[in-house]
Amino acid sequence: MFEFIAFVGSAAATVVGYVQARAFTTEKLRYVDAVHRMSIPILAGVGAACVAAPVVWLLPIVWTGTAVLFGAGVATGVASGAREIRKRIGAG
């Protein structure tokens, strides 16, 4: 039962990270040119995983992979948001 709860928590953290990062990128960072660099999604994902690691360490049910999946969700969200911005302005 605890494994299922951990799986649901990990999946929820990944989805929330993706959705929030994509929304933030498309709404707040649409005029920032640096968001279009290839390294920015990776930096955002690593930063999110580093911030989530202490929180995951304190929770007994979820595992370390949750922080990694959260970081991956944030990274893909930032990349998707940047791609949406480029599509809106017609730059590729």
- Full-model pTM: 0.91
pLDDT digits (tens, 9 = 90+) for 24-78: 999 999 999 999 999 999 999 999 999 999 999 998 888 889 999 999 999 999 9
Q: How many CB atoms lie within 10 A of CB 84?
A: 14
Place of tokens 């709404």: 27
- pLDDT band of 89, cuts 50, 70, 90: confident
Indicate the domain borders of the chain. 2-89
Supply the pLDDT for residue 2: 86
Instruction: Provide the total of helices (H) and of strands (E) in the chain, helices listed first.
Output: 3, 0
